[in-house]
Amino acid sequence: MTNSIITIDPEIQSGSPVFSGTRVPIKSFFDYISTGETIESYLEDYPYITQEQVYALMTLMGDLFIKTTDTIFNENTFGRKYPH
C-alpha cells in the first residue's frame, strides 16, 4: 500500500510502514518524539523526511484518533455509555 504519506511494502523494511519515498519507519518518529525530542531535531537527524511529511502524518494520526475514540465513546461497545 502506498499513499503520499505512508508506504507499506514487504520489500521495504520487511513491510513496516515507512514515510513514502524513504526507508525511514514511521515508528521512528513516534519513538523519537515520545522521548521529548522536538520535530525539528527529528528532521535534523532524518534529513530524508520533510516537515510536510511529518505534519501530514500527524494530521492523519489525529484524524484516526478522533474517529476511533468517537466510535468507542459514542457506541455502546462495552455495555455501558461513557461520559463525553
pTM: 0.76
Q: At what angle do helices 26-34 and 51-74 cross, to 10 degrees?
A: 80
Between CA 57 and CA 64 the distance in angstroms is: 10
pLDDT per residue as tens digits for the range 28-82: 999 999 999 999 999 999 999 999 999 999 999 999 889 888 777 766 555 555 5
Are the beta carbons of 46 and 28 closer than 8 angstroms? yes
> What is the CATH T-level fold of the domain 6-74, as seen in this structure?
Arc Repressor Mutant, subunit A (1.10.10)
